[in-house]
């Protein structure tokens, strides 16, 4: 669950605005830290890996409303600092292509970022535990755990936004008359009928339980598909070019010119 598929104008303003503030702060921090080190030479790598994630996300498995994300792969390849930048870039481009809202870019960045960072940390931990010969198993387990955690985060996010039977959900629009966030479903066009305007508003029976049930039913199918793809891709890369997987982006050796193997000109 690399990003929340909730459109603009559904989540409360305070929630998506907080998402934006935290995400922007983290992106600025990552950029500032990058300025101190030689990460700048890896900007094309950030671009390429982000593009790879976007290409993977563009193919959707319709029956379960899931698409491959490759976020764990991106996290392993980029490392924590660059992963934060990549998560933001991916979400901005996705929003511009109409996939995912603009107001939720902040929250989506945090979700993707969490997935990439967790993926990176867990993968390294599992490789240490299981050994370098078990990259596929390490990546599969990492992916399933990571996706399970971020799916739970998504359900938590929806719970925080007020989608419960007790509280009416609001669209995030501030009512200037009384400076409160009024529920459109309790007194707007939905609540009082399309034209009558006289019916009494009723509190909606919105089910967080229903939402969680659907997400946790369809989600695991997606997690398994993602785990298989991640395991296959990382297993292949670990076999063909191990330094990419085991040493991180900054450890990738610079190409050596023929005749300059020892750095002598």
For another protein, the binding residues in 129-188 under the rule CB under 8 A are 158, 163, 169, 171-173, 175-177, 184-185, 187-188
Residues numbered 30-49 forming contacts with another protein, rule: CB under 8 A: 31-32, 34-35, 39-49
CA 23/CA 69 separation, integer angstroms: 19
Which one of 117-125, 144-152, 226-234, 257-265 is the stretch in contact with another protein (CB under 8 A)? Answer: 226-234
DSSP secondary structure, 15-70, as one string: HHHHHHHHHHHHHHHHHHHHHHTGGGGGHHHHHHHHHHHHHHHTSEEGGGTEE---
Q: Which of 2, 69, 71, 86 binds another protein (CB under 8 A)?
A: 86
| Pair of tokens at residue 111 | 């979700």
Smaller CB separation from another protein, 133 or 202: 202
| Smallest distance, another protein to C-beta of residue 241, A | 6
Encoded tokens for 148: 């399970």
Indicate the residue among 58 and 129 with the shorter CB distance to another protein: 58
Nearer to another protein, 129 or 190 (CB): 190
Q: Select the residue interacting with another protein from 98, 258, 259, 263 (CB under 8 A).
A: 98
Q: Does 119 bind another protein (CB under 8 A)?
A: no
Q: Which of residues 185-214 bind another protein (CB under 8 A)?
A: 185, 187-190, 192, 194-197, 204-208, 210-211, 213-214
With binding defined as CB under 8 A, does residue 23 bind another protein? no
Min CB(125)–another protein separation in Å: 22
Count how many Cα atoms sit within 13 Å of the Cα of residue 130 in the half-sphere of its side chain: 17
Question: Is residue 14 involved in binding another protein (CB under 8 A)?
Answer: no
Report in angstroms how near the CB of residue 146 gets to another protein at its nearest. Answer: 18
Angle, CA 150 vertex, CA 144 and CA 154 arms, to 5°: 140
Between CA 138 and CA 132 the distance in angstroms is 9
Question: Which tokens in the block code for residue 211?
Answer: 């939402």
Give the angle subtended at the CA of 199 by the CAs of 197 and 201, to the nearest 5°. Answer: 105
When the beta carbons of 28 and 125 are compared against another protein, the nearer one is: 28
Binding to another protein, residues 50-69 (CB under 8 A): 50-52, 54-56, 58, 60, 62, 65
Q: How far is the CB of 236 from another protein (least distance, A)?
A: 3
**Torsion-angle region of 218 (φ positive above 0: left; ψ -120 to 50: alpha; else: beta):** alpha
The answer for residues whose C-beta is within 8 angstroms of residue 46's C-beta and 6 or more apart is: 78, 82, 85, 86, 89
107 vs 129, which CB is nearer to another protein?
107
Token reading at 213: 């049930």
């Amino acid at each position: 669950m690399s990003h929340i598929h909730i459109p603009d104008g559904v989540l409360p303003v305070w929630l998506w605005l907080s998402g934006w503030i935290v995400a922007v702060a983290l992106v600025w921090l990552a950029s500032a830290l990058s300025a101190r080190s030689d990460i700048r030479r890896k900007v094309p790598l950030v671009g390429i890996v982000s593009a790879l994630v976007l290409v993977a996300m563009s193919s959707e498995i319709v029956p379960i409303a899931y698409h491959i994300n490759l976020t764990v792969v991106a996290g392993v390849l980029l490392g924590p600092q660059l992963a934060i930048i990549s998560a933001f870039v991916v979400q901005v481009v996705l929003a511009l292509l109409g996939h995912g809202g603009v107001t939720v870019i902040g929250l989506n960045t945090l979700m993707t970022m969490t997935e990439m960072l967790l993926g990176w940390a867990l993968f390294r931990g599992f490789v240490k535990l299981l050994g370098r010969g078990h990259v596929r198993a390490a990546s599969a387990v990492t992916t399933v755990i990571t996706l399970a955690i971020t799916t739970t985060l998504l359900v938590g996010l929806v719970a925080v936004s007020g989608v419960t039977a007790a509280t009416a959900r609001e669209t995030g629009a501030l009512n200037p008359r009384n400076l409160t966030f009024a529920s459109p479903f309790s007194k707007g066009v939905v609540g009082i009928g399309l034209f009558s305007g006289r019916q009494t508003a009723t509190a909606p029976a919105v089910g967080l339980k229903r939402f969680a049930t659907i997400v946790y039913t369809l989600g695991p199918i997606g997690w398994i598909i993602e785990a298989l793809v991640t395991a296959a891709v990382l297993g292949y890369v670990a076999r063909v070019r191990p330094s990419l997987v085991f040493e991180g982006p900054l450890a990738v050796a610079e190409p050596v010119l023929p005749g300059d193997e020892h750095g002598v000109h």
